[in-house]
Amino acid sequence: MMRRLEYYIGSDTDPHRNLARERYLTESVPEDTCILYLWQNRHTVVIGRNQNAWRECRTTELEKDGGTLARRLSGGGAVYHDLGNLNFTFCMRKCDYDLARQQSVIAAACRRLGVQTEVSGRNDILANGKKFSGNSFWSHGGCAFHNGTLLLNVDMANLGRYLRPSQLKLESKGVSSVRSRVVNLCELAPAITVDSMRQAMLEAFSEVYSLPRQELRDSDLDSAEIERGYLHFHSYEWNYGKILPFSFECSARFAWGELTLQMHIKDGVCENAAAYTDALDEGFAGPLAEGLRGCRFTTEEICRQISAVPACAEVAPDICRLIREQNI
């Protein structure tokens, strides 16, 4: 049962440090407590845990323009952040996690500023039929977070410039570009600012949970632990990962998300594999790739291996159908 509300207002705009702080707040959250973390990133593309950086983002152009690529802990798709965007994270013990209640904080905050919202599926929040907030989720060691974006006055030209959206994803939503799917809240309520949304979120936080809130300051946090986390989130290995010299690739969009499967074949055997997905429940990607290593490159052997991976139980039929469509 939730008995205490705490909040932390991010003090910098470095995406790697902000992600380190997010993990620290989540892993150290006390029992019966929810922490609302409000933060901003400057000129950043943030990708999901199992996404391919080069497929999702024009990385060379982003870096040339002084931008940053960051990979978060949670699943979901790529997003563009600048100082017209306010990010939120609800950190709590897993037993206190309540997605509907957390999303109602966002709805209540928007109502305070004159905007009506609706939830679309599990991870998008819409205003006037367009997305202004994408949400993602992570849990570990009995703790969990729900995070997301609030598009207030984001540079839409940059959003379209740096993101490399999947054509499969766009076609499945029946639109021609990523920009046509999203909206800045300032277009619907011109008086909205980052400061007014931040204050509205704090007030709605107390309103929805019917509890007072207490501010956390830098002195309340373990700066050494956050610095260790920063080194991880800042590393090339975490953000870009390993690129395979693959000779086979297939991808498709399913009801549960998009999957790209890459395999490097040598002597008729899968020497290495990688699976990239924007699925919210993305835990199958690693076991899937591991399960394909050493597999003979035949349709039936690949499908047999996929079906034998416990973490792939729910998605194996879809993946095997995709493999069969490749006519290996």
Task: Compute the distance between CA of residue 256 and CA of residue 277 in angstroms, rounded to an integer.
Answer: 10
Q: CATH classification of 248-324 is 3.30.390.50, yes or no?
A: yes
> Class for domain 4-240, per CATH?
alpha beta
Look at residue 179 in the predicted model and tell me its pLDDT: 47
Task: Compute the distance between CA of residue 276 and CA of residue 183 in angstroms, rounded to an integer.
Answer: 27
Span 25-44, average pLDDT: 98
CA-to-CA dists, residue 286 to 73, 275, 289, 309, angstroms: 14, 7, 5, 10
Q: Where are the domains of the chain?
A: 4-240, 248-324
Question: What's the pLDDT tens digit per position in 157-184?
Answer: 999 899 976 555 544 454 444 544 899 9
What's the start-to-end Cα distance of the chain, in Å? 54
Span 130-159, average pLDDT: 95
Look at residue 164 in the predicted model and tell me its pLDDT: 74
Neighbours of 245 (CB within 10 A): 8
pTM given for the model:
0.79
Look at residue 52 in the predicted model and tell me its pLDDT: 79
Look at residue 280 in the predicted model and tell me its pLDDT: 86
Look at residue 245 in the predicted model and tell me its pLDDT: 52
Angle at Cα 44 formed by Cα 41 and Cα 45, nearest 5°?
Answer: 130
Task: Compute the distance between CA of residue 198 and CA of residue 202 in angstroms, rounded to an integer.
Answer: 6
Question: What's the pLDDT tens digit per position in 147-159?
Answer: 999 999 999 999 9
Share of the chain above pLDDT 70, in %: 93
Q: How many residues does the chain have?
A: 328
Residue 222 vs residue 265, higher pLDDT: 222
